[in-house]
């Protein structure tokens, strides 16, 4: 009889020991029984017969995890302090009957003409194992990526092309497929089960040479990997908000070392971390010779007369505009104007967002929903008001103001599938719609060639967030939104903000901002310090607090780590669970990992390199 240590997929607990009468290779996927239910696991190692009774492996499947996948999973488990089963759970296994070698047939592609600057940038990227392509919006980063892909494919290797989930644009899909044809596969969560199965089959059998997708594309069964490109590397969506809380940009860099392949990070507004840590090549200017005029309005977030006048001018001239608002839905909160009572989620300590279209108040954290009240539940007043303008309310107001215009909402509430995204962009491209009103989705990777006005609201809300990256995030958002306008002719960017001086100083020189930001961060925040956030949640608030205090007491015994703060989370309750946190800082991640691994308890969830502090 053979005995094996098995990690259960997507399980937060450690490995279990099972037996089987035949030999099973390390990395094989198996089905086993745990507490009378069948589940899947991965053979991690063979072991001696234990001194307790073991269960038998039910079935050895025709799937396996490669040695590199196992090594990567061990790194994720160690660095992000989660179980090996959690780390393996985000990966897609290889199949035993897949084609072992990629076809060596070389295809000819339509020639991509690079400028001298682009050629020099490409040569720079090829000379470094990890490098940053710091290129303005429209400067031709995609053409450089594609030329690099050609080179890798000619070596009979494959490429991973990561993009933020929100920016898996039809335009990028079209450009890649027009050039590389069936050798490109887009793999993401919005694919139908049938299309996902077809895409996975092409990836497994080697037909797919360029695999494009969000962070999950890193964990697909890809042989002969030759290059990883992380586009919009600054984007927060590369960080997973659930266990394991990995950052796909950082995992890409580790994979580059593990697979011995180059990694290219690309952005018009790179993160300070990448700018400091990796060699970069600067690509200024764009393909478009038009100019942008920035206009600032000192005003709180609202559709002011100035904004309405500018929009009217655009509509009269038969041009198009985009309106950026940080919040979706109608408003963030509903408040009684007489007694001040606000409507919070029954399960989370957060205000409910107003959704007029469905006549509902919704929680954006746990999806709790209730009907919009007609009068205050505390004092009976009918004067219920809201603050913080949202996309749906803006669309409603603009439709009332411009009755002949076609105004569309462009956010996650409306764009719920890839098909809806394609249709909305096609309508805008064909000038069937005049104004797009949206959130961050507006700024990510889309080409709006007819836009001559970009209205940017809520910049001060981003700038004043309790986050050490608030300046970086606000400036990056403004530049990304502004970069969507003026592609073909002169455009205006109307920014509603009381912080004109801050934005004006850096709009033409993002690297000047990064160089200055280094001074503020040094000795306090990444990339000069490592942070970790420990989260404790339980339906019983006293238990959550007790759990936090237990870990807190243990952490005080460790040198080399600093307890920055602890207590209730900013949002104290989510999904009926009370939440507490500890924020730690250290010079070295190894000191944090060592201390946390020894001190954590069952209620403690670890977020290494956190980007969310709200």
Domain check: are 156 and 61 in the same one? no
Same domain, 72 and 188: no
**Residues 18 and 138 occupy one common structural domain:** no
Residue 329, phi-psi category: left (phi > 0), alpha (psi -120 to 50), beta (remainder):
left
Is the pLDDT confidence value at 493 over 60? yes
Assess contact for 412 and 441: CB atoms under 8 A: yes
Residue 604's SS3 state is strand
Predicted local distance difference test score (pLDDT) of residue 301 = 74
Cα separation, 506 vs 474, whole angstroms: 12
pLDDT of 598 over the 90 cut: yes
What is the pLDDT, as a whole number, of residue 289?
45
Give the mean pLDDT of 256-285: 95
Which residues carry a binding-site annotation for Zn(2+)? 336, 339, 345, 348, 363, 366, 376, 379
In angstroms, rounded to a whole number, what is the distance separating the alpha carbons of residues 324 and 326?
7
Say yes or no: 161 and 276 in one domain. Answer: yes
Same domain, 447 and 300: yes
For position 445, what pLDDT does the model report?
60
Q: Could you tell me if residue 173 is inside a domain?
A: yes
Domain count, the chain: 4
Examine residue 337 and state whether it is found in any structural domain, yes or no.
no
For residue range 535-567, list pLDDT tens digits in order: 999 999 999 999 999 999 999 989 999 999 999
Instruction: Find the CATH number of the domain harbouring 568.
Output: 3.30.70.600
Chain segment 495-524, per-residue pLDDT in tens: 999 899 999 999 888 999 999 999 999 999
Integer angstrom CA distances of residue 4 from 27, 53, 84, 452, 516: 11, 13, 15, 64, 54
Q: What is the mean pLDDT of the chain?
A: 89
Q: Distances in Å between the alpha carbon of 10 and those of 56, 68, 90, 352? A: 20, 19, 8, 32
Over pLDDT 70: what percentage of the chain? 93
Q: What is the CATH number of the domain that holds 183?
A: 3.40.50.300
Assess whether 134 and 234 both reside in one domain. Answer: yes
Does position 332 have pLDDT exceeding 60, yes or no?
no
Average pLDDT over residues 413-436: 86
The H-assigned helical ranges of 367-522 are: 391-401, 418-429, 459-463, 470-482, 500-506, 510-521
122-126, 275-279, 297-301: which range is least confident on average?
Answer: 297-301
Which tokens go with 486?
């003026």
Domain boundary among 499, 519, 539: 519
Question: Are 267 and 120 members of one domain?
Answer: yes
* pLDDT tens per residue across span 55-109: 999 999 999 999 999 999 999 999 999 999 999 999 999 987 655 555 556 677 8
Other C-beta atoms lying within 10 Å of the C-beta of residue 367: 10
Quick check: is 449 in a domain?
A: yes
Instruction: Name the binding residues.
Output: 336, 339, 345, 348, 363, 366, 376, 379
d(CA 298, CA 500): 8
> From CA 537, how far away is CA 548, in angstroms rounded?
9
Q: Which of 461, 487, 519 is the last residue of a domain?
A: 519
The residues, ordered by sequence, that sit 6+ positions from 412 with a Cβ below 8 Å of its Cβ are 328, 439, 441
Last residue of a domain, which of 460, 494, 519?
Answer: 519
- Do 304 and 496 contact (CB within 8 A), yes or no? yes
Tell whether 340 is covered by a domain.
Answer: no
The lowest-confidence range among 168-172, 248-252, 274-278, 366-370 is 168-172
Q: Which residues contact 430 (CB under 8 A, 6 or more apart)?
A: none
Helical pair 67-79 and 589-599, crossing angle rounded to 10 deg? 80
**Residue 234 falls within a domain, yes or no?**
yes
> For the chain, what percent of residues have pLDDT higher than 90?
61
Q: How far apart are CA 85 and CA 65, in angstroms?
A: 12
Categorize the per-residue pLDDT at 329 as very low, low, confident or very high, splitting at 50, 70 and 90.
very low
pLDDT band at residue 287, thresholds of 50, 70 and 90? Answer: very low
Same domain, 562 and 420: no
3-state secondary structure 146-209: HHHHHHHHHCCCEEEEECCHHHCCHHHHHHHHHHHHHHEEECCCCCCHHHHHHHHHHHHHCCCC
Residues 461, 416, single domain; the answer is: yes
Helices (H), 211-355: 248-259, 272-277, 305-316
Classify 251 as helix, strand or coil.
helix
- Cα 590 to Cα 81: distance, rounded to the nearest angstrom: 11
Q: What is the per-residue pLDDT across 127-185, written as a single tens digit (0 to 9) for each?
A: 999 999 999 888 889 999 999 999 999 999 999 999 987 555 677 888 898 999 999 99
Tell me, yes or no, whether 200 and 301 share the same domain. Answer: no
Q: Which residue segment(s) compose the domain that 440 sits in?
A: 292-328+390-519
Any bridge partners for residue 385, and if so which? 335
Task: Say which range, 103-112, 313-322, 363-372, has the weakest mean pLDDT.
Answer: 103-112
| Same domain assignment for residues 245 and 206 | yes
**576: its two tokens:** 């009926």
Residue 255 and residue 127 share a domain: yes
CATH assignment at residue 17 = 3.40.1440.60
Q: Is the pLDDT of residue 225 over 90?
A: yes
Q: Tell whether 88 is covered by a domain.
A: yes
**What is the phi/psi pair of residue 16, to 5°?**
-120, 155
User: Does residue 108 form part of some domain?
Assistant: no
Per the domain annotation, does 374 fall within a domain?
A: no
Report H helices in 278-409: 305-316, 391-401
Quick one: pLDDT at residue 265? 98
């Amino acid at each position: 009889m053979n005995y094996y240590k098995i990690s259960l997929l997507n399980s937060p607990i450690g490995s279990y020991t099972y037996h089987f009468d035949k030999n099973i290779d390390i990395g094989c996927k198996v089905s086993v029984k745990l507490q009378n239910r069948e589940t899947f696991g991965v053979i991690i190692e063979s072991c001696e017969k234990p001194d307790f009774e073991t269960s038998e492996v039910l079935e050895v499947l025709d799937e396996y995890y490669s040695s590199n996948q196992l090594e990567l999973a061990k790194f994720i488990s160690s660095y992000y302090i989660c179980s090996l089963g959690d780390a393996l759970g985000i990966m897609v296994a290889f199949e035993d009957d897949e084609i072992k070698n990629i076809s060596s047939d070389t295809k000819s592609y339509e020639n991509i003409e690079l400028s001298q600057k682009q050629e020099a940038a490409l040569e720079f990227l090829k000379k470094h194992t990890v490098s940053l392509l710091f290129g303005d919006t429209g400067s031709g980063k995609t053409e450089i990526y594609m030329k690099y892909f050609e080179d890798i494919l000619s070596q009979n290797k494959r490429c991973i092309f990561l993009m933020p989930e929100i920016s898996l644009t039809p335009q990028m899909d079209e450009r890649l497929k027009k050039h590389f044809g069936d050798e490109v596969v887009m793999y993401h969560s919005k694919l139908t089960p049938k299309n996902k199965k077809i895409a996975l089959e092409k990836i497994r059998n080697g037909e797919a040479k360029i695999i494009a997708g969000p962070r999950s594309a890193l964990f697909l069964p890809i042989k002969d990997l030759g290059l990883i490109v992380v586009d919009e590397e600054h984007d927060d969506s590369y960080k997973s908000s659930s266990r394991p809380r990995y950052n796909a940009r950082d995992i890409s860099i580790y994979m580059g070392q593990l697979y011995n392949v180059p990694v290219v990070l690309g952005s018009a507004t790179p993160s300070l971390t990448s700018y400091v840590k990796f060699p970069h090549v600067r690509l200024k200017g764009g393909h478009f010779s038009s100019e942008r005029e920035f206009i600032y309005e000192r005003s709180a977030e609202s559709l002011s007369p100035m904004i309405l006048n500018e929009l009217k001018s655009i509509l009269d001239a038969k041009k198009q505009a985009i309106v950026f608002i940080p919040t979706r839905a109608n408003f963030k909160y509903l408040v009684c104007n007489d007694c001040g009572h606000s409507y919070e989620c029954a399960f989370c300590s957060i205000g409910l967002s107003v959704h007029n279209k469905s006549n509902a108040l919704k929680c954006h954290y746990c999806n709790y929903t209730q009907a919009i009240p007609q009068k205050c539940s505390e004092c009976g007043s009918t004067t219920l008001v809201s603050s913080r303008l949202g996309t749906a309310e803006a669309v409603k107001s603009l439709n009332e103001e411009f009755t002949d215009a076609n105004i569309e909402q462009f956010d996650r509430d409306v764009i719920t599938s890839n098909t809806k995204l394609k249709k909305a962009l096609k309508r805008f491209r064909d000038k069937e719609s005049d104004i797009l009103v949206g959130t961050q989705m507006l700024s990510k990777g889309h080409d709006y060639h007819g836009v001559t006005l970009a209205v940017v609201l809520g910049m001060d809300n981003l700038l004043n967030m309790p986050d050490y990256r608030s300046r970086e995030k606000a400036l990056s958002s403004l530049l990304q939104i502004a970069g969507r306008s003026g592609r073909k002719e002169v455009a205006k960017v109307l920014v509603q903000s009381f912080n004109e001086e801050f934005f004006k100083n850096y709009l033409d020189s993002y690297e000047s901002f990064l160089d200055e930001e280094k001074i503020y961060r040094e000795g306090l925040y990444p990339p000069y310090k490592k942070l970790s956030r420990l989260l404790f949640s339980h339906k019983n608030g006293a238990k959550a607090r007790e759990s936090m205090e237990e870990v807190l007491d243990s952490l005080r015994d460790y040198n080399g780590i600093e307890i920055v703060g602890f207590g209730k989370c900013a949002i104290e309750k989510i999904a009926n669970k009370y939440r507490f946190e500890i924020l730690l800082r250290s010079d070295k991640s190894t000191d944090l990992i060592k201390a946390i691994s020894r001190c954590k308890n069952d209620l403690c969830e670890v977020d290494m390199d956190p980007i969310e502090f709200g």
